[in-house]
Amino acid sequence: MYAEAQAVITMRVLGMAGLWSVKPDEATRMVREKVEHFPRAFQAATQAAIKGGDPLGAAIGPLHRQTRANVIRLSRRGPKRTF
């Protein structure tokens, strides 16, 4: 997941610099995703801890799914061709 997260960060930063093709609402989407998915991760971790499971592993699940989806979505858009 960490390599995927770095890839998402890189593509988004390149998008902000005008070098990667991203939709105009990408910055808003970054914030909205965190508001949606961190509570899910917290809930999964809490439930796992109550049941005696692995809270960290449970928390990573929802975050990993979204990170993976972002890698796929942003990779498909590709770099901007400005020349």
Q: Is residue 44 part of a domain?
A: yes
Q: Is residue 17 part of a domain?
A: yes
Q: How many domains in the chain?
A: 1
Look up the domain containing 66 and give its range: 2-77
Q: Is residue 47 part of a domain?
A: yes
- pTM across the whole model: 0.83
Model pLDDT for residues 2-12, shown as the tens digit of each residue: 899 999 999 99
Q: Is residue 82 part of a domain?
A: no
**Over 80: is that where the pLDDT of 82 sits?**
no
Q: Is residue 30 part of a domain?
A: yes
Q: Is residue 15 part of a domain?
A: yes
Q: Is residue 54 part of a domain?
A: yes
Q: Is residue 83 part of a domain?
A: no
| Long-range CB contact pairs, 35-43, < 8 A, 24+ | 37/62, 37/63, 37/66, 38/63
